[in-house]
Structure 1
Amino acid sequence: MVDSVKRDYRSTLRAAQARQTRRTVIAAATAVFVEHGFAGATIDAVAAAASVSRRTVFTAVGGKVELLKTALDWAITGDDDDAALVERADLSTALTADDPARVLQGWVDVLVGVDTRVAQLFHALEIAADSDDAAAELLGQYQHQRLDGARAVIARLDELDALTDRVRRADAVDIAWLASDPVLFSRMVTTRGWSHRRFRAWLVQLTADQLLRPR
C-alpha cells in the first residue's frame, strides 16, 4: 500500500514537472516567434530562452511548427487546458444568450481577448505560410476554425430570428469570419493605436450594423 502511494506521488510529481517544463518552453517559444518571426526562430534560441536543452524542447513539445501551433492554441484559449474555445464559459454564455445584441457583445468580448493574445503570433504564422508548407497548412486549419466559429454565431442569431434580410446567410457567415480575423485587431490597435475599448466598441457596432435586423 505504501509503495503504491509512493508510486502515485512520483507519477503525479513527474506529470506536474513535465507540464511546467512544457509551459516554460511555450512561453519562451512565444517570445522568440514574436521577436524573430517563424523564419528567424530556431530551436536553439527557444532552448536558450527556456534555459533547457535542445532535446528537452523536442521532447516537451516538438519542432518549430509544433511550437507555433501549441503557442497559438494556448493563446487562443488563454491557458493550456484541453477544452476548446467553444467549450469555454464566456463563449458558451454568449452563444446561449436570448438577446441578439448580447450574443454579439459576448462574442466580440471573446474575440478581443483572443486577439490580444494571438495577434503577434498570428502575424508570424501568416508570414511563415508564404514560404513554409507546414505553416501554410497550419494557417489553413486556423482559418477553418474561425469559419466554424462564425457559423456558430450566425446559427444562433438565425435561431433568434435576428439576422438582417439585407445579406444572405452565407454572406453573414463570411462577415462574421472576417470580423474574427486577428488582422483587424493588429491593424487598428497595434498599427493605428486604438485602445482595446475603442476597438471593441467599433467591432460590436460593425457586426450589429452588418448582421442584425433593425429593431
Structure 2
Amino acid sequence: MAEVKRRYHSPLRSEQAEASRAAVLRAARELFVEQGYGRTTIEQVAARAGVSKPTVFTAVGNKATLLKVVRDVAMAGDDAPRTVTEREDVAAIAAAGDLDRAIALTARHIVDVNARYDEVHEVIRGASGADPAVAALWETSEAERHVGAGHLLARLHAAPALPVRRAQDLLWLLMATDHYHRLVVGQGWSRRAYERWLTEGIRALFET
C-alpha cells in the first residue's frame, strides 16, 4: 500500500504566521493613514512590520488587498472570519426585546464601527478618484453598507411607517461614516452627542 502523507501542522508556525499578518495589517493601516494609499509601498509596509517583502504578499496580499483587509478589520473590530452582522453587538440588537433598547444598541454599534473605520474611510475616499482598485473598493463599501442597513432593520423587529426599501435607504444614509467625520472629527462633537443624533434619526424611521 502506498504511504499516505499527512500534512504537518505546527502550532508555533501558525502563531508566527498570525503574528506576521497582524504586524503587516497594523503597519499598512499606519502608513495608509499617515501618508495616503498612493505613497505607501509594499517595501515600506514590510520594513515597518519587520518582515520581508514576500511575507507581506504571503500574509495578506498586494497593496489593494492590504487596503481591503485593513478596511474589513477596521469595520469588524478584529481579523476573525466573521461578518459584522455575525458579531455579538449586532446579535444583541435582535435580542433586545424592546424597540427603544434595540434602537439604542443600533446607534451604539454604528458609533463603534465608524470610530474604528473613520481614518481608513478617509484613505479610501481620498484615493478612489485616482486608483481603479480603490474606486471599486469604495463602491463595494457603499453597497455593503446598504446591505448592512437591511440586516439592522431586520434585527430591530419592527415594521417602519414608511416603505421598507426607503427605510433601508435612510438608515444607509444615517450610517455613513461621512457624518461621523464631519460632526465628530470636523465639528468637535462628542461621541455621545453623535450617538444621540443617530438614535433620534433611527427612531424617526419608525414614527408616522
TM-score in terms of structure 2 length: 0.91
* Corresponding residue number in structure 2 for 1:160: 158
Residues 176-205 of structure 1 deviation map (CA, whole Å, 9 limit, x = unaligned): 001111111111111111111111111111
CA contact (8 A) 2:93 2:155 kept: no
- What 5-or-longer segments of structure 2 have no aligned partner? 1-7
* Corresponding residue number in structure 2 for 1:128: 127
Q: How far is the alpha carbon of 1:64 from its aligned partner?
A: 1.0
- Between the aligned residues of both structures, percent identity stands at 35
* Corresponding residue number in structure 2 for 1:169: 164
Runs of 4+ in 1 over 2 A off after TM superposition: 95-98, 153-157
CA contact (8 A) 1:91 1:107 kept: yes
Query: Is 1:77 the equivalent of 2:72?
Result: no
CA contact (8 A) 1:42 1:64 kept: yes
Query: Is 1:178 the equivalent of 2:177?
Result: no
Q: What is the CA RMSD across the aligned residues, in angstroms?
A: 1.5
Q: How far is the alpha carbon of 1:146 from its aligned partner?
A: 0.8
- What 5-or-longer segments of structure 1 have no aligned partner? 1-6
Q: How does 1:54-203 map to 2 (within 5 A)?
A: 54-157=53-156, 159-161=157-159, 163-164=160-161, 167-203=162-198
CA contact (8 A) 1:29 1:67 kept: yes
Distance of 2:100 and 2:63 partners within structure 1: 41
CA contact (8 A) 1:76 1:85 kept: yes
Residues 39-81 of structure 1 deviation map (CA, whole Å, 9 limit, x = unaligned): 1211122112112222221121111111111111111111111
Point out the more displaced range, 167-176 or 17-26: 167-176
Point out the more displaced range, 48-57 or 84-93: 48-57
Distance of 2:100 and 2:206 partners within structure 1: 8
Q: How far is the alpha carbon of 1:131 from its aligned partner?
A: 1.6
How many residues end up aligned between the 2 structures? 201
